[in-house]
Amino acid sequence: MRAGLMSAIFTLLCWGQLALADTVLVVGDSISAAFGLDTRQGWVALLEKRLAEQGYQHQVVNASISGDTSAGGAARLPGLLAEHRPSLVILELGGNDGLRGQPPAQLQQNLASMVQQSQKAGAEVLILGMKLPPNYGQRYTTAFAEVFPRVASETGATLVPFLLEGIGGVPSMMQSDGIHPTVEAQSRILENVWPTLKPLL
């Protein structure tokens, strides 16, 4: 009887800790889904490992889908917010919008909507900015790159200006497709994100 009572108390305590743990929700595309790699090698998995090593109690939910666009993320977000109730939402979307030549204004609208929905749900928001290769033309690449700081400024979200700083355009850091980072690049991605992310925890 006593053993059963102690077991029940232990279970309740464990559930209480889970309920109190903050959740970091990552909504992204193939960059955060670790395309071409074991997901345990991706930067999001490395983030989860670092949080645990540094004593943070946060749970990390990686809701990234390869090939996803800002429109796809915006459609999925309400359900994700309701299910996970995150304290921090990391938005890593837009790259596929750009690669498909979609209007930057559409990307801006989708990102702003996602930020506002997340904030309304009580979450801090971190936007991970992206840039396009120069072969898409200066006018388009400039308009695309300007979306991320504009949305951050207008919504009060926090911004990492370029997620792939020091990685994009470096052959040794990219897989053979020239689009997706290698396993060696994943730790660099985390280092690009961590200084801006840490104060939001």
Q: What span, in angstroms and rounded, lies between the C-alpha atoms of 98 and 78?
A: 23
| C-alpha distance from residue 7 to each of 3, 17, 68, 104 (Å) | 6, 15, 44, 56
Beta bridge partners of 92: 28
List 29, 30, 64, 68, catalytic entry: 30
Amino acid at residue number 179:
I
Query: Is 84 a catalytic site residue?
Result: no
Q: Is 30 a catalytic residue?
A: yes
For the question of residue 177 being annotated catalytic, the response is yes
The interaxial angle of helices 104-120 and 138-155, nearest 10 deg, is 20
Which of 7, 58, 177, 187 does the annotation list as catalytic? 177
Q: Which is the catalytic residue, given 38, 97, 180, 187?
A: 180
Beta strands in the chain (DSSP E): 23-28, 59-62, 88-92, 124-128, 158-160
User: Residue 114 and residue 119: Cα distance in Å, rounded?
Assistant: 9
Residues labelled catalytic: 30, 177, 180
